[in-house]
Amino acid sequence: MIFTRNAKARRRLRESGLAYLLLGPSLLIFAVFIFYPFLSNFYLGFFKTPPFPGLPNRFVGLSQYQEVLTSSTFLNSVRTTVAFAFLTVPLGIALGLGLAVVAHQQLRGIAIYRTIFSSTVATSVAVASVIFGTLFNPVVGLLPWLGINPQPPILDNPDWALIAVALITVWQTLGLTFILMASGLQAIPDELHEAARIDGAAAWSRFVRVTMPLLSPTIFFAVVIGGIFAFQTFGQIDLLTQGGPLDKTNVLTYYVFTTLRTENNDGKAAVLAVALFSITLVLTVVQMKVLERRVHYAR
Amino acid sequence: MAGVTFDRVTKCFGDVVAVDDLSLDVFDEEFLVLLGPSGCGKSTALRMIAGLEEPSEGTIEIGESIVNDVEAKDRDVAMVFQSYALYPHMSVRKNIEFPLRTRKVASDEREKLVHDAAESLGLETLLDRKPAQLSGGQRQRVALARAIVRRPKVFLMDEPLSNLDAKLRVQTRAELIELQRELATTVIYVTHDQVEGMTMGHRIAIMADGKLQQVGPPQAVYDHPANLFVAGFIGNPPMNTVSGPIVRTASDPAGSFGIGVEGTVIPLPAGHCAAIERSGAKTVVLGVRPEHLRPATEGGLVATVAVIESLGHERHVDCRLADGQMVISRLSSSEPAPLVGERVNLTVDPLELHIFDGVTEEAIETT
């Protein structure tokens, strides 16, 4: 008995040793590129950056966290980011789903539409921003040419700038959402739709009672990913509005960036980065807890 | 309840003709089996009744009305799919209830109907489970319950037993026959399994390459196959077919024939000869069911026993003729069996011979 117990323990030790050995390389990479920077960033937030270069950083502990996280600029930036997410995610998913449903029909030449609908996936944020920046340009753009030339220009209008950037973002991510939704639709067996047709369900009823529940895992995934993307938005803000007008498009990522690069305040930027990470994490966890209850994972 | 009529129905998918000029009457309260190998067009025919495919030509009637332009949801048919097509996100109860909900049946009425359907299929204890938590046989029952719950005019079944294991299949087969009798409803049942066709259908309709080959009661089709395809498709082991030149036997100038098989001539009775003469066939194929091919001490065809397959209650003796053609003799296990490698004489009662035109492959009627 004792012998076998020893043998078993030895085997277990050997197996766990092997497991750690195999995990080692990726653990090392994670440690160097993720864990260490993350912890040192958190630590950096304890130091106040001096107003003039050359002076030493001053340790202030958690007080900098408190100061930054209660500032009106930060709270405004959080509000802007949340608004941005609410503007982009539901609309993007609704449009992507709508296009996917249209493209799911067995019609002649539908492949051309599928290609067009998914094409923005090959467009970078920078390209999309330049395209729309040009279209909105008050001097050479398409809108003024069409006779639509609001003053101030859309991207300079505090009421419209965020909405405009959000719409551009929806357009730019539409390709990806469309592909996600289309593949989700394709995964639903045709026979279920056929059974529902024979069972007397009209098109809308089939969509609500069969398609939507079976697509819910895909939609759920798109909401979570879309939410994370929205909280990390940077490129289109930088290229189109630089956070303005009046900080109306100053989303968190852009705020981190300007704090670091314009203010050269790395202590404050570190605090903001930690805040951005925490908000994204909490939001994702909440989404998972709340939405997953409504998701049907079909087997 | 209602009958179904195909009137010269053709269905093409691009250049492929899936169903070719099909005319078929399915009677009210009949259990009709559409039988044929994969790709013969039987499922397409069924899907056209359901309204899942549109005929390219011809008309389909359910009851007295032409349904070509009627939506699937308005045809009042129910279908059981091979995969069962249960809604995975709904409980068994919700699945069975679905066709009632879409038709806005009142909730107390709905509850009663669901309960009745579940009870008749032994599903009462499973009503709150999801399809993923059920066995194949249970899922199959749920699909059936969903079909019977609203008493449709016509039941369509597309290979409903093929995902079940062999034992359950035999059991469910009998249950389906009973269910059809109880409901007294029209069932159109698609299968590639000739045993299901033989055992379940009041009539079977055999299809190949999109064309209807023969319709009739199972025994009639077995006894009088209309062509070589049906002869080979119905029956297990299939009918033996032997081909050879028509040999006019010199001794009988009145026109007796024999079929030349290497080393011997199989003589044909006078009635058969006259029928061949009438049909004008240049070459013929002889068919004989394995149970009618008997080993004898002399006469008949000389063959060598190649393989003996014992099934317990019977034996299949595979024999090779002198020219290499294979024939099977079916013997009951109580009969003495020859040995492998042994030379045997295989005889057949001439009245049990089937004769087919060698070119058109159609049966030549001998009576």
Contacts of B99 in chain A (CB under 8 A): 199-200
Q: Residue A273 to residues A49, A259, B166, B279: CA-CA distances in angstroms?
A: 15, 10, 63, 94
Q: Is B330 helix (H, G, I), strand (E, B) or coil?
A: strand
Contacts of B79 in chain A (CB under 8 A): 194-195, 198
Q: Is the pLDDT of residue B254 over 80?
A: no
Residue A66: its pLDDT value, please? Answer: 87
CATH architecture of B4-233: 3-Layer(aba) Sandwich (3.40)
Contacts of A209 in chain B (CB under 8 A): 87, 98
Per-residue pLDDT reduced to its tens digit, B220-247? 999 999 999 999 999 888 999 988 777 7
Q: Is A213 helix (H, G, I), strand (E, B) or coil?
A: helix
Q: Let me know how many helices (H) and strands (E) chain A has, helices first.
A: 14, 2
The residue in chain B having the minimum alpha-carbon distance to the alpha carbon of residue A299 is: B132
The residue in chain A having the minimum alpha-carbon distance to the alpha carbon of residue B52 is: A194
Residue B62: its pLDDT value, please? Answer: 92
Stretch B7-17: mean pLDDT: 92
Per-residue pLDDT reduced to its tens digit, B123-142? 889 999 999 899 888 999 99
Q: Is the pLDDT of residue A79 over 80?
A: yes
In chain A, domain spans: 2-43, 69-292
Q: How large is the C-alpha radius of gyration of chain B? A: 25
Q: Is the pLDDT of residue A2 over 60?
A: no
Contacts of B72 in chain A (CB under 8 A): 194, 197-198
The residue in chain B having the minimum alpha-carbon distance to the alpha carbon of residue A212 is: B89
Q: Which of A192, A198, A214, A293 to mutate to test the interface with B (most CBs of B within 10 A)?
A: A198
Distance from CA of A78 to the nearest CA of B (A): 37
CB A191 within 8 A of CB B81: yes
CB contact under 8 A, A200 and B103: yes
Question: Could you give the percent of chain B with pLDDT greater than 90?
Answer: 48
Stretch B101-114: mean pLDDT: 90
Label the pairing between strands B154-158 and B4-13: unpaired
Contacts of A202 in chain B (CB under 8 A): 73, 102
Stretch A120-131: mean pLDDT: 86
Residue A298: its pLDDT value, please? Answer: 55
CB contact under 8 A, B103 and A198: no
Q: Is the pLDDT of residue B218 over 90?
A: yes
Residue B309: its pLDDT value, please? Answer: 92
CB contact under 8 A, A299 and B132: yes
Residue A31: its pLDDT value, please? Answer: 92
Counting one residue from chain A and one from chain B, the pairs whose CB atoms sit within 8 A come to: 64
Cα–Cα distance measured from residue A267 to residue A44, given in angstroms and rounded to the nearest whole number: 6
Contacts of A198 in chain B (CB under 8 A): 50-52, 72-73, 75, 77-79
The residue in chain B having the minimum alpha-carbon distance to the alpha carbon of residue A203 is: B73
The residue in chain A having the minimum alpha-carbon distance to the alpha carbon of residue B85 is: A192
| Chain A residues with CB within 8 Å of chain B CB | 189, 191-192, 194-202, 205, 209-210, 213-214, 296, 298-299
The residue in chain A having the minimum alpha-carbon distance to the alpha carbon of residue B104 is: A200
**Which of B51, B71, B85 comes nearest A191 by C-beta?**
B85
The verdict on domain A69-292 having CATH code 1.20.1540.10 is no
Distance from CA of B210 to the nearest CA of A (A): 22
Residue B260: its pLDDT value, please? Answer: 76
**Which of B78, B89, B132 comes nearest A198 by C-beta?**
B78
The residue in chain A having the minimum alpha-carbon distance to the alpha carbon of residue B82 is: A191
The answer to whether residue B139 neighbours chain A at the CB level (below 8 Å) is: no
Contacts of A188 in chain B (CB under 8 A): none
CB contact under 8 A, A194 and B89: no
What is chain A's mean pLDDT, rounded? 86
Distance from CA of B204 to the nearest CA of A (A): 25
CB contact under 8 A, B72 and A194: yes
pLDDT confidence bin for A292, thresholds 50/70/90: confident
Distance from CA of B162 to the nearest CA of A (A): 16
What CATH number has the domain spanning B240-357?
A: 2.40.50.140
CB contact under 8 A, B89 and A298: yes
CB B318 within 8 A of CB B326: yes
Q: What is the 3-state secondary structure (H, E, C) of B232-293?
A: HHCCCCCCEEEEECEEECCCCCCCCEEEEECCEEEECCHHHHHHHHHHCCCCEEEEECHHHC
CB contact under 8 A, A198 and B88: no
CB B255 within 8 A of CB B334: no
Stretch B101-122: mean pLDDT: 89
Per-residue pLDDT reduced to its tens digit, A31-65? 999 999 989 988 888 888 887 777 777 888 788 88
Contacts of A199 in chain B (CB under 8 A): 73, 78, 98-99, 102, 146
Q: What is the ipTM of this complex?
A: 0.83
φ, ψ at B339 (rounded to 5°): -95, 155
Cα–Cα distance measured from residue B267 to residue A23, given in angstroms and rounded to the nearest whole number: 82
The residue in chain B having the minimum alpha-carbon distance to the alpha carbon of residue A297 is: B89
Question: Phi/psi class of residue B151: alpha, beta or left (left: φ > 0; alpha: ψ in -120 to 50)?
Answer: left
Least trusted range by pLDDT, from A57-71, B89-103, B180-194: A57-71
Cα–Cα distance measured from residue B8 to residue B176, given in angstroms and rounded to the nearest whole number: 30
Cα–Cα distance measured from residue B185 to residue B4, given in angstroms and rounded to the nearest whole number: 12
Q: Is the pLDDT of residue A299 over 60?
A: no
Stretch B101-124: mean pLDDT: 89
Tell me the residue type at B306. A
The residue in chain B having the minimum alpha-carbon distance to the alpha carbon of residue A190 is: B85
Per-residue pLDDT reduced to its tens digit, A197-222? 999 888 899 999 999 999 988 898 89
- Residue with more model confidence, B76 or A290: B76
Distance from CA of B364 to the nearest CA of A (A): 43
Stretch A257-278: mean pLDDT: 87
CB contact under 8 A, B102 and A205: yes
Q: Is the pLDDT of residue B37 over 60?
A: yes
Q: Is the pLDDT of residue B23 over 60?
A: yes
CB contact under 8 A, A189 and B83: yes
- Residue with more model confidence, B246 or B21: B21
Residue A140: its pLDDT value, please? Answer: 79
In chain B, domain spans: 4-233, 240-357
Catalogue the long-range contacts made by B81-84 (C-beta closer than 8 Å, 24 or more residues apart): B81/A191, B81/A194, B81/A195, B81/B143, B81/B158, B81/B160, B82/B158, B82/B159, B82/B160, B82/B162, B82/B163, B83/A189, B83/A191, B83/B163, B84/B131, B84/B139, B84/B140, B84/B142, B84/B143, B84/B160, B84/B163
Residue B334: its pLDDT value, please? Answer: 87
